[in-house]
A = this chain, B = another copy of it.
Amino acid sequence: MIEYIILGFLMRQAMTGYDIKQYMGYSTAYFMDASFGSIYPALKRLTEKGLISLSEVVEGGKLKKVYSITNAGRESFSKWLGSPIEASKNNISGSLTKIFFLSYLPKEQAAALLHGYIRDIDEYRQGLTKLRELVILHANGFELSTLDFGLDYYTFIIDWYSRYLQNL
């Protein structure tokens, strides 16, 4: 996940590891805020894979490693961005990360992606309704309400993304 966020950031401009952390702080922070302990190793891995490249710069006496995305990196990022959003798990971060970078996807492809996500969530919600019939036989009120939260929650997600899709 963190690797794709980094690629996404580098799509806009070259950055250092420190910059990336800073930028996260006032952009994706609320749904995704990685630590240096995951950013620096991720930059290392991405460089080894050839998806980004670095140039070492000395600025104000400090050594800076400025990373840029390569063509292979752009390709990898686009492939990931266009792939379906996983609906199965409580994965707000996963879906929001794609929304965040959606400007890098052609409009029709973005619409298709959201459409598929809404369909998958709806399917999952229907599965929950079936589960509810089973659970109601043995669960107490408290236990049942966690399931009802789930139903309401997925309804909210479906509504929100449907509205979002219309405004696209």
Nearest-Cβ distance from residue A128 to partner chain B, whole angstroms: 6
Question: Which residue from chain B places its CB closest to the CB of A164 in the assembled complex?
Answer: B145
The A interface is mostly helix, strand or loop, or mixed, namely helix
Copies in the complex: 2
Nearest-Cβ distance from residue A101 to partner chain B, whole angstroms: 7
Give chain A's interface residue range (CB within 8 Å of chain B): 20 to 34
A147 — which chain B residues lie within 8 A by C-beta?
30
A145 — which chain B residues lie within 8 A by C-beta?
99, 164
| Residues in A lying within 8 Å of B, measured CB to CB | 26-31, 90, 92-93, 96, 99-103, 128, 131, 134-135, 139-143, 145-147, 149-150, 152-153, 156, 160, 164
